[in-house]
């Protein structure tokens, strides 16, 4: 592939560079046609104009830590991490303006100087780029109180298919094209009836949010780079609460989970995290006993409260303890940040264990992001346990119980014949269950190529037609991240990074990509892995 003219940044189509960008987090290995790392906005504009002229698919990418496969593909990978890093915090207005390449860690550090923060806290905060967070409508443990990033975004700058920089601001007069606006308004009753009534949702284009706000910005948030490329974001910030405490609740039965979570939400927690029995089994009885946990519990809830006053914090925790008492085996409390962190240590212990599993027992994120109505959480977990047990695939479940949002990692034996077929079966059956429970397949990670094919079952053919019209309105040539949200027709369980069918890549690059996955080192520049041409 010939590079676009006069590019100041990097453009490579050699085998090693392509291999270095063939994987992100998640299950896929797909060799792109080439890789570009634009040096600035002018470079990015040239890439878009060139791609439009030559009908080249552009795959925008930040750290590569998104799990749905929206950061890999057959076209040109556009690595945005080399873009200039702009970060300006205005404490007087409690806002920040950042470029897409800035990480959440960098923003939080700059805001903390002024006693401010961006409240959404995805676990990938150390390396997640802010452009990537916008693209998936990222959230995190504290979404039960603070929501996803959508509510904290004031304005965006978007490079469109013409290479034009468009600035979108909440409350401005920016609209989609008139025909599209009329179509969406006419379909408003259908949209409201078909969108899941879940606490959060990162599946499909956010037509419901657009109808509620009238702001084009709400179509761009969560669009996974399929409508244009976000280059700059203006954020609303919030004060860092002065006091933090929490609870650790041991539940002897999963059946009470929905009632416990509903009760806890009355007291306005900032986080309600679940560690399911499957997660606790990873730790082992000795570790559980050492952490002061009953080895026979079915679930553990980690609850965080944030307040500006110590007495308010103590009151909230005390009331919550009384509220969950009818269902809890034991409840431990914390009234300082240090005590709360000690209670949360159990949550941090399993990730290294998952990462250290042998190569024949890989942790794969296949049904990892479903969100269901709060009253159906117990049903969902029990269904996943049962379905996975029936086909013999071990699972590990944990997540944001306060939102009805459960992460599931599959642990198939990749040396066992037919393991890929088992994943397909489980994905289909769990998706059917999610829909029956009124849920969404993605609460915070986006659809990627993994979930795109499910959306017709979630939303129906008429809503999918509206999604296609939105896509055509912004990107009639289809150059921005094709196959994401709107499916390509390719099976979701294909072109995997594991198994005998995985595309071969140089062994040193494969090892380096595996190290990134094991250590969570997604901030590493993949061109360094590729080496010189």
Q: Are residues 139 and 227 both part of a single domain?
A: yes
Question: Using an 8 Å Cβ cutoff, are 305 and 313 in contact?
Answer: yes
Q: Are residues 77 and 104 both part of a single domain?
A: no
Let me know if 428 is exposed, middle or buried by CB neighbors in 10 A (0-12, 13-18, 19+): middle
Q: Are residues 221 and 99 both part of a single domain?
A: yes
pLDDT at 349 over 90: no
The dihedral formed by the CA atoms of 336, 337, 338 and 344, expressed in degrees to the nearest 10 = 110
Into how many domains does the chain fold?
A: 3
What is the pLDDT confidence band of residue 284, given thresholds at 50, 70 and 90? confident
Percent of the chain with pLDDT over 70: 96
Distance separating alpha carbons of residues 204 and 451, to the nearest angstrom: 10
Domain assignment of residue 308, given as a range: 243-355
What is the pLDDT confidence band of residue 527, given thresholds at 50, 70 and 90? very high
| 504 C-beta neighbours (distance < 10 Å), count | 9
pLDDT at 331 over 90: yes
Report, as an integer, the average pLDDT of 129-145.
96
Q: Are residues 234 and 259 both part of a single domain?
A: no
Q: Are residues 69 and 49 both part of a single domain?
A: yes
Domain stops at, among 207, 239, 271: 239
pLDDT of residue 358: 67
Q: Are residues 107 and 162 both part of a single domain?
A: yes
Q: Are residues 32 and 163 both part of a single domain?
A: no
Q: Are residues 138 and 67 both part of a single domain?
A: no
What is the pLDDT confidence band of residue 533, given thresholds at 50, 70 and 90? confident
Residue 500 placed within a domain: yes
pLDDT at 296 over 90: no
- Whole-number average pLDDT of the chain: 93
Q: Are residues 146 and 289 both part of a single domain?
A: no
pLDDT of residue 172: 84
Buried b (16+ CB within 10 A) or exposed e, 50-75: bbbeeebbbbbbbbbbbbbbbbbbbb
pLDDT of residue 253: 92
Q: Are residues 156 and 269 both part of a single domain?
A: no
pLDDT at 2 over 90: no
Q: Where residue 22 sits, what CATH number does that domain have?
A: 3.30.43.10
Q: Are residues 247 and 234 both part of a single domain?
A: no
Kindly write down the DSSP assignment for every residue of 105-129, as one continuous string: HHHHHHHHTTTEE-----TTTTT-B
pLDDT tens string 497-521: 999 899 999 999 999 999 998 888 9
pLDDT at 352 over 80: no
Report, as an integer, the average pLDDT of 77-96.
97
């Amino acid at each position: 592939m010939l590079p676009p003219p006069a590019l100041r940044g990097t453009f490579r189509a050699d085998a090693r560079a392509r291999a270095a960008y063939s994987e992100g987090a998640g299950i896929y290995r797909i060799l792109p046609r080439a890789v570009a790392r634009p040096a600035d906005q002018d470079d990015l504009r040239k890439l878009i104009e060139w791609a439009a002229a030559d009908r080249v698919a552009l795959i925008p990418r930040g750290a590569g830590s998104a799990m749905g496969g929206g950061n890999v593909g057959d076209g040109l990978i556009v690595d945005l991490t080399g873009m200039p890093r702009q970060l300006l915090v205005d404490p007087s207005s409690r806002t920040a303006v950042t470029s897409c390449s800035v990480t959440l860690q960098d923003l939080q550090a700059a805001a903390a100087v002024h006693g401010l923060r961006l409240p959404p806290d995805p676990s990938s905060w150390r390396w997640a780029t802010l452009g990537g967070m916008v693209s998936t409508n990222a959230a995190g443990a504290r979404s039960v109180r603070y929501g996803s990033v959508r509510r904290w975004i004031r304005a965006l700058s978007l490079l469109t298919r013409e290479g034009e920089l468009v600035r979108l601001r909440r409350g401005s007069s920016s609209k989609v094209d008139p025909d599209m606006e009329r179509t969406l308004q006419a379909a408003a009753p259908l949209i409201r009836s078909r969108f899941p009534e879940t606490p959060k949702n990162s599946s499909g284009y956010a037509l419901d949010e657009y109808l509620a706000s009238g702001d084009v910005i709400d179509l761009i948030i969560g669009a996974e780079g399929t409508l244009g490329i976000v280059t700059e974001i203006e954020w609303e910030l919030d004060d860092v609460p002065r006091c933090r405490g929490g609870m650790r609740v041991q539940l002897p039965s999963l059946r009470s989970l929905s009632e416990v979570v509903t009760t806890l939400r009355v007291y306005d927690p900032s986080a309600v995290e679940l560690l399911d029995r499957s997660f606790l089994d990873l730790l082992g009885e000795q570790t559980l006993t050492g952490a002061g946990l009953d080895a026979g519990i079915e679930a553990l809830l980690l609850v965080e409260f944030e307040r500006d006053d110590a007495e308010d914090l103590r009151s909230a925790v005390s009331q919550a303890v009384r509220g969950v008492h009818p269902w809890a085996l034991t409840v431990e409390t914390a009234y300082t940040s240090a005590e709360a962190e000690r209670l949360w240590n159990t949550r941090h212990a399993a990730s290294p264990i998952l990462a250290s599993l042998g190569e024949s027992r890989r942790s794969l994120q296949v049904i990892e992001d479903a969100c269901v109505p709060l009253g159906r959480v117990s049903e969902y977990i029990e269904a996943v346990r049962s379905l996975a047990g029936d086909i013999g695939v071990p699972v590990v479940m944990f997540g944001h119980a306060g939102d009805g949002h459960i992460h599931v990692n599959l642990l198939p034996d990749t040396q066992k014949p037919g393991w890929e077929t088992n994943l397909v079966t489980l994905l289909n059956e769990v998706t059917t269950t999610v829909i029956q429970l009124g849920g969404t397949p993605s609460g915070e990670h986006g659809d990627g190529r993994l979930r795109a094919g499910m959306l017709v079952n979630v939303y129906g053919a008429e809503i999918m037609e509206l999604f296609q019209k939105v896509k055509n309105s912004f990107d009639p040539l289809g150059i921005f991240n094709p196959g994401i949200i709107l499916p390509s027709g390719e099976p979701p369980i294909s072109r995997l990074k594991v198994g005998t069918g995985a595309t071969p890549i140089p062994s040193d690059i494969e090892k380096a990509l595996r190290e990134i996955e094991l250590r969570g080192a997604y901030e590493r520049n993949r061109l360094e892995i590729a080496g010189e041409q």
